[in-house]
Amino acid sequence: MEWEKKLTLLNCIISDLQIIHSKNISHRDLHSGNILLNNLHIAYIADLGLSVLADLGSKNEIYGVMPYLAPEVLYSKEYSMASDIYSFGIIAYEIVSGVLAFHDIPHDINLARKIHRGLRPSIPTRVPRLVADLIIKCWNADPDQRPSSKNIVDTLEVWNNEILNNEITEFISQIQEADRITYGNITSHFETHPEAFYVSRQIHSLNTTDFNKQSNHLDNREDNREDNREDSRSLLIIDLAQVSLDDIVENEKKGVILSGIHGNKAC
């Protein structure tokens, strides 16, 4: 995939995330399985079933795909807009590298501990340094040190303009070098470990005695999320670009689940 197309996909995803964050909402379950693609030209964030207002705090469980969960979420269930940025960083890694994060190892208690201690996917040397640096910033162990969705949108906009205007910049030079290195040398085939799970599931926090007692036993059930919920909250499809913050607050009080972002947009 050409770098221009990769940047377009990243811009689409982070633009959607900026819309979500502008309403003071955290997605809480952002992973590549929740990204809808249109012929690799346009991408949309979907499945906002776990999204809540950022200032309402976290719920009592961790639910998601382990490689995309920020270390603070794995330890103390602290979901936030910053933890969404960590998840975006993992998605960005997958787009630029062509492989799933931690695809070759079990997604178990050991991986959770390693992520909390600083383990991150290895970014290939063929990835332009400025892109790799942005991804690494998204993975910062300190949530306060991660860039905001707006910061990332602004950065990608600068890079896209440099491409469109055929400018000679450091970023363009890095892309050209990356294309030279990767030409004819990239394969999309990779083996996935049988215990690597890329569906959302309940995961025990590292900061609980139950997690330590259960050791490598994680709940691998792939039950439908709504079937497991004990409440009867309504399910809506909402265009977050149009809904007001007051509407979202009122819906949260009523227990409405936000599920989907479908608006007219040009990435």
Q: Which amino acids are annotated catalytic? A: 29
Dist. CA 148–CA 138, nearest whole Å: 9
Distance linking the first and last C-alpha atoms of the chain = 17
For residue 210, the surrounding DSSP H or E stretch is: helix 209-214
Q: Whole-angstrom Cα distance, residue 113 to residue 115?
A: 5
What count of residues does the chain have? 267
Is the separation of the CB atoms in 246 and 25 below 8 Å?
Answer: no
List all residues 6 or more positions away from 127 whose beta carbon is below 8 Å from its beta carbon.
Answer: 96, 97, 135, 178
Closest CA to 97 of 138, 135, 127, 119: 127
Strand-pairing partners, residue 38, are: 42
User: What's the Cα-to-Cα distance from 217 to each of 63, 184, 221, rounded to whole Å?
Assistant: 15, 42, 12
> How many C-alpha atoms does 255 have within 13 Å on its Cβ side?
6
Element (DSSP H or E) covering residue 3: helix 3-22
